[in-house]
Structure 1
Amino acid sequence: MNQNVRNYGWTVALSGTGINLALGVLYTWSVISKAIPQEWGWNEAQRALPYSIACIVFALVMVVAGRMQDKIGPRKVATMGGVLTGLGFLLASASTSLTVFVLGFGLLAGAGIGFGYASATPPAVKWFPRERTGLIAGIVVAGFGLASVYAAPLARYLIAAFGVQVAMRIFGIAFLLVVVVLAQFLRNPPKEYVPASSASMVHRGIPAAPVHEYDWLSMMRTPQFYLLWFMFACGAGAGLMIIGKLAKIVELQSGSTAGFVLVALLAVGNAGGRVIAGVLSDRIGRTATMLIVFAVQAVLMFTLRLQDQLAMLVAYSMVVGFNYGACLSLFPSATKDYYGLKNFGVNYGLVFTAWGVGGLVLPIVSGRIFDATGSFNQAYVIAGFVMLVAAALTFVTKAPHEEQLVAPGLKAA
């Protein structure tokens, strides 16, 4: 059946990786925020607002964008993402007003990033067999995790050379063009296409094909959706809590001002975690890999307060980044395994809202703890217990169709 179908799998996967590398422009905000001139009159809370709005919009738009790419295909939706991201940066570059920055960077660029990110992974995994889902999802989303390695230094250079507004204009034009061009290479396989699959995949912890393709409402009626959602929120929240405060943590605990170097190293770990955990989950199963990731992250959270040497903080930051990145490949892979491909875009969009909630709650909690105590020690302990709860939940999380396989026999009896 597939002999006459040209396989575009790697073209689609690498195009999706490139799109995510470009959409990682989100990570430039820390540099942009720091460089905003005093004469603009923004206080620290106002400097954080466009980024916070962008993250919330990104997570929410994933649901809408996921459904759209299920219906009209990834090419059009990713193209919309590139246009919105570029226009958002261009709009913000034309003003010094906080309101315009919130509208441009927060709403338009945030939505554009959501449209692009939602369109990158689904078409890629559809071209490959189930036992390679983790690998392909990891490669595609690794682009977003690796983006800060180049985006932040490039933003620093452009701002130093041309100023904030010109730098944002350059980013807007560049990423509009890059995303729109790469979006043209995204395509779903034909409906009759069935990728060759290994008969041994069930023995490696990958469930058989779903009993039926779940729509978003049917998915939300299963307890597994809420288990996946909660575990994702825990994993994302703990990681983002450290990512957002890493430079401050390094300065507090080691006295070093080289936190920006650790941020880049964390990004390398982040990207590596997305690929390596994806491959590992193809071999030993999604929840088994989640258990390892959550347990290691719990140990790191409980012991982070004891680290005052820069070398150890380097190691910790990379492994924390690895574990956080792992979540970004494990949960789309599990969503596909549990609920099928037909509605994967909207289904994963709903699961991905956990990233937004986790990234909002734990960083806020850690900030309030620091304001009250002058350290993040209590926040580490809370995050450690959160990760232990997530690890425990992996023992009761199974694909919904595994339970339903018994039902036909019972009814027949």
Structure 2
Amino acid sequence: MDTLPTTATPAATATTSGSPRLFRGWLVVAGAFAVTFVGFGSAYTFSAFVESLQKDFNASRGSVSLVFSLAGFLYFGLGVLSGPLADRWGSRRLAVAGMLLVGLGLAAASRAQSLVQVYLAYGLGVGLGVGASYVPVVGAVQRWFLRRRGFASGLAVSGIGVGTLAMPPLASWLIDTQGWRHAYLVLGVLAAVVGTGLALLVENDPRGRGLGPDGDPPQPQSLSSAPAGFTVREALRTRRFIGLYAACLVCSFGLFVPFVHLVPYALDHGVAPGSAVLLLAMIGIGSTAGRFVLGGLADRMGRALALMLMFAGMALSLLVWAMSGGFAGLAVFAFAYGVFYGGFVALLPALVMDYFGGRHIGAIIGVLYTSVAVGTLVGPSAAGFAFDVSRSYLLPILASAAANFAAMGLLMAMPKSSTSS
């Protein structure tokens, strides 16, 4: 009796009865999309909770903003650990663990009896959960693609934009109908069930399926050798990495200020609560468009140049915010900022892969994101405390715009080749 072969050739894995099969890399992208949708979508609902937390705990805007800053510091800073762990253990395990932590953190926040307990539940749960999952899934996507890496990376992290579009209005509706505690509980269940289930689609490397990037046949040596590229120590010594790190650090002081303070700003200027929350959805719409459109465009025009344009675009859109007080102007700002912010998030991992290869991509991205962690810890909370003192957001908004212009200048000064410093 004839027996089936135990291993499939690349051609066999690519076809069934002569018809092309879906490249597995797109399922990895789908898993990464779900993880970023649930993780960041849950995190970016925070602006909808600010007013409720202020009232229930009699807290200042700066102290409430610190909840998000702590979570942001952790979910970007933890990448320095989760990246190497994913390189060693695989991205799927980290993604599943992260989604469970997000769910537990949100559920615990629903039971908080003080703002300190919100710091611990939301800050640690969401912060550690997103931190455990984000860098591993983004790093995994980079290994599965070469020619369409910018587009695939943009598609994967467009989950952040779609999550920002869908989750804040959902949270606002839950707060209005059931209260903020039940809202956190519902979001926690959603994160644990949907996020964990779809995180199982993530796989670390196409070589495990006998494939090369983009579904091409693997190179003869690629199944038995490590991916090419820099070690972490080698990458950190290059002027390119130093330039990227400095640019991301400076930019991130203002990067997430709108995600925390746009809704309170709108409410302060007389915008109705329902419309104010929709501004976050506008950021989500713009962010989704930016990740889809600008990721593919950057593949053609050059990702380094495109990243500079993202910084310039965020800076200019922040100036629009500074001049806006009504819903229409704020909506224009929110959409434009979302486009360029989404492009920034989509391009950065792909540019790291371009510069340093896939050998330790997760670890290198993780180290790079510590720059964003520091800025996120400082920026949103500093903006809140500045408002508490001056009763105005003008200075934080202008400082955020200046930070993006400075980041663009740092990239312009970066060397064209990865030479050691």
Q: CA deviation at 1:380?
A: 4.0
2:314 equivalent in structure 1: 297
- Once the two structures are TM-superposed, the CA of residue 153 in structure 1 deviates from its matched residue by 2.0
Q: Hey, what's the Cα distance between the residues in 1 that align with 2:251 and 2:56?
A: 39
Counterpart of 1:53 in structure 2 is: 70
| Contact 1:236–1:324 (Cα < 8 Å) also in 2 | no
- Please name the residue that 1:186 is paired with: 202
Q: Offset of 1:391 from its aligned partner?
A: 2.2
CA 1:101–1:359 in structure 2 vs 1: closer, same or farther (change >3 Å)?
closer
Corresponding letter in the other structure for 2:185: R
Alpha carbons of structure 1 residues 215 and 307: separation in structure 2 relative to 1, 3 Å: same
**What is the TM-score normalised by the length of structure 2?**
0.82
Question: Which structure would you say has the larger RCO, counting Cα contacts within 8 Å and 6 or more residues apart?
Answer: 2
Distance 1:308 1:221, change over 3 A: same
- Supply the AA of the counterpart residue of 1:17: F
Q: Match of 1:317?
A: 334
Shift of 1:88: 1.9
How well do the aligned residues superpose, as a CA RMSD in angstroms? 2.9
State whether structure 2 residue 157 is matched by structure 1 residue 141.
yes
Aligned length: 389
How far has the Cα of 1:385 moved from its partner? 3.3
Q: Report the equivalent of 1:204.
A: none
| CA–CA distance in structure 2, aligned partners of residues 106 and 21 of structure 1 | 18
Indicate the residue corresponding to 1:195 in structure 2.
213
Pairing partner for 2:27 from 11, 15, 22 = 11
Which stretch has the larger CA shift, 112-121 or 63-72?
112-121
CA distance in 1, matches of 2:120, 2:318: 36
Deviation at 1:80, TM superposition (A): 0.8
Asked if 1:29 is matched to 2:46, the reply is yes
Which of 60, 74, 77 aligns to 2:94? It is 77
Provide the secondary structure at the position in 1 that maps to 2:78. Answer: helix
Q: 1:166 to 1:248 in 2, by over 3 A?
A: closer
Partner Cα separation in structure 1 for residue 110 and residue 97 of structure 2: 20
C-alpha displacement of 1:322: 1.5
Alignment CA distance shift 1:126-1:97 (3 Å): same
Shift of 1:179: 1.7
Residue of structure 2 aligned with 1:336, choices 337, 348, 353? 353
Aligned residue in 2 for 1:169: 185
Aligned to 1:201: none
The alpha-carbon deviation at position 220 of structure 1 amounts to: 1.1
For structure 2, list consecutive stretches of 5 or more residues without a partner in the other structure: 1-8, 15-22, 217-226
Extract structure 1 runs of 4+ deviating beyond 6 A: none
Which residue of 2 is the match for residue 264 of structure 1?
281
The offset of 1:337, in angstroms, is 0.8
Distance in 1, matches of 2:265 and 2:293, equals 27
**Closer/same/farther in 2, CA of residues 46 and 307 from structure 1, 3 Å limit:** closer
Cα distance in structure 1, aligned partners of 2:187 and 2:322: 38
Deviations 1:277-315 (A, max 9, x none): 211211111121122222333333445434455433322
How far the C-alpha of 1:46 sits from its partner, in A, is 4.7
2:399 counterpart (360, 375, 382): 382
Separation of aligned partners in 2, 1:318 and 1:354? 25
Deviations 1:330-375 (A, max 9, x none): 1111111111112111111111122222333444554455455544
Pick which of 66-75 and 357-366 moved more.
Answer: 357-366
Q: Classify the secondary structure of the residue corresponding to 1:3.
A: helix
Would you say the 8 A contact 1:228–1:331 is kept in 2?
no
- SS of alignment partner, residue 397 of structure 1: coil
Q: Return the alpha-carbon distance in structure 2 between the equivalents of residues 371 and 138 of structure 1.
A: 37
SS of 1:321 mapped into structure 2: helix
Q: Which residue is equivalent to 1:226?
A: 242
**What amino acid sits opposite 1:144 in the alignment?**
I
The residue number in structure 1 matching 2:17 is none
String of CA shifts for 1:170-194, please: whole Å, max 9, x gaps. 3222211212211211112116632
